[in-house]
């Protein structure tokens, strides 16, 4: 569980609710008009913009991964893979049969090795999995960004529709207030959806994408070395060499000079 995403969303909701309650009641901030135009409009534009399959896979996968935190750093992963190499060295592929790593992708690879599959088959299968996964995560990121980009425009459209209705029916300027308040809600909703939800989620997914590409490539290389019964020391050394510099060290060493 990526607590930061949850905490951030909770903080955003608390801040906005506090603001709303400090100045009156929540009631006046609920507008079905604004909900329809922001969510309906963004949904319509996204439906045109992306292929249907991309929306179906990308939206939920993006949401899931924005809230998921990999329990292991790449460095932990290297340690775990080196441990598996140790076992495979000692008791052969059969020894891996009872191992069930937490990471489902690593777990799948271990099962393949334990079942004695061919190295080519393992590489093909795992690379295909990794690429499909990254493609969907990238689609998810693009969709959240596209929604974050068009939500404020639909907020403005909602406010314009409200203002046209207000002005067209206006007889007494002093009664203009409540209508104006409702019209402005669409702009407010659009800005909130974009700035508290969609754009930060898209940025986080971009970071996860980079991270998962490193991790899954690392796992594939490690599994193939285990398959080839490479020594644990060699496995660790070669995997560490693949990592970008910043992941090679423990966080504890990170105090800058």
Judged by CB under 8 A, the chain residues 167 through 186 that form the site for a second copy are 167-174, 176-178, 180-181, 184-185
Query: Are 44 and 157 a contacting pair, CB within 8 Å?
Result: no
Q: Min. distance of Cβ 89 from a second copy in angstroms?
A: 26
Among residues 102, 115, 118, 127, the one that binds a second copy under rule CB under 8 A: 127
Among residues 97, 100, 104, 116, the one that binds a second copy under rule CB under 8 A: 104
Query: Are 220 and 127 a contacting pair, CB within 8 Å?
Result: yes
Query: Helices 74-91 and 199-227 meet at what angle, rounded to 10?
Result: 20
Q: Which of 98, 95, 103, 112 is nearest to 79 (CA)?
A: 103
Query: What residues contact 53, with CB distance under 8 A and at least 6 apart?
Result: none
- Regarding 112 and contact with a second copy (CB under 8 A), the answer is no
Give the start-end residues of each E strand in the chain: none
How many Cα atoms sit within 13 Å of 192 on the Cβ side?
Answer: 20
Judged by CB under 8 A, the chain residues 16 through 75 that form the site for a second copy are 16, 18-20, 22-24, 28-29, 33, 36-37, 40-41, 43-53, 55, 57, 61, 66
Nearer CB in complex with a second copy: 57/227: 57
Q: Min. distance of Cβ 230 from a second copy in angstroms?
A: 23
- Regarding 15 and contact with a second copy (CB under 8 A), the answer is yes
- Regarding 221 and contact with a second copy (CB under 8 A), the answer is no
């Amino acid at each position: 569980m990526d607590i930061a995403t949850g905490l951030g969303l909770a903080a955003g909701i608390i801040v906005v609710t506090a603001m709303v309650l400090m100045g009156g009641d929540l009631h006046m901030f609920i507008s079905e008009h604004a909900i329809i135009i922001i969510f309906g409009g963004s949904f319509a534009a996204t439906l045109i913009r992306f292929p249907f399959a991309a929306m179906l896979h990308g939206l939920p996968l993006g949401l899931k991964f924005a809230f998921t935190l990999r329990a292991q750093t790449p460095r932990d992963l290297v340690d775990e893979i080196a441990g598996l190499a140790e076992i495979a060295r000692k008791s052969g592929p059969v020894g891996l049969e009872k191992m069930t790593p937490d990471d489902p992708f690593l777990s799948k690879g271990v099962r393949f090795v334990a079942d004695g599959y061919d190295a080519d088959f393992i590489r093909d299968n795992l690379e295909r999995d990794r690429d499909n996964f990254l493609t969907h995560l990238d689609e998810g990121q693009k969709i959240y960004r596209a929604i974050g980009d068009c939500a404020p425009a639909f907020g403005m459209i909602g406010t314009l529709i409200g203002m046209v209705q207000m002005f067209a029916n206006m007889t007494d300027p002093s009664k203009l207030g409540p209508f104006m308040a409702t019209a402005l809600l669409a702009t407010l909703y659009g800005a909130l959806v974009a700035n508290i939800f969609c754009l930060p989620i898209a940025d986080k997914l971009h970071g996860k994408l980079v991270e998962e590409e490193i991790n899954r490539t690392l796992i594939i290389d490690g599994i193939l070395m285990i398959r080839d019964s490479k020594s644990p020391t060699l496995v660790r050394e070669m995997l560490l060499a693949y990592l970008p510099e910043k992941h090679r060290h423990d966080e504890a060493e990170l105090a800058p000079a």
